[in-house]
Amino acid sequence: MKDTIICRCEEITLKDLEETAKKYKSSAREIKLRTRAGMGFCGGRTCRPAIDKVLTNITKENPTDALPLKVAPPVRPISLTDLGGAKDDQ
């Protein structure tokens, strides 16, 4: 159970979160910053609810209180044509 991956993008396990909380006596926000949980490619869109629930159980505080980390999806979508650099006249 401790090897359950909570954040797939950053490969953060339940054990990683618990060990960081114990070692540094961190707040929920500090644990996220130290482990990078929720800061991967998806920007927390996939794992944020799980991370918040786990951190609430570990720290007994609401991770969204006082200076919460925001969910940050990619800035904007881009078409494959734009990405590949294809020209209109081809």
11 compared with 79, residue with greater pLDDT: 11
Q: By percentage, how much of the chain surpasses pLDDT 90?
A: 27
> In terms of residue numbers, what domain contains 15?
5-84
46 is a domain residue: yes
56 is a domain residue: yes
Residues 6+ apart with CB under 8 A from 17: 6, 31, 35, 37, 51, 54, 55, 58
Half-sphere exposure of 86 (CA within 13 A, CB side): 7
For residue 64, what is the DSSP state? Answer: T
74 compared with 14, residue with greater pLDDT: 14
Question: Does position 65 have pLDDT exceeding 60, yes or no?
Answer: no
Half-sphere exposure of 32 (CA within 13 A, CB side): 27
12 is a domain residue: yes
Q: Which two tokens stand for residue 16?
A: 């990683």
The pTM of the whole model exceeds 0.75? no
The domain tally of the chain equals 1
Instruction: For residues 26-36, give the mean pLDDT.
Output: 88
32 is a domain residue: yes
90 is a domain residue: no
89 is a domain residue: no
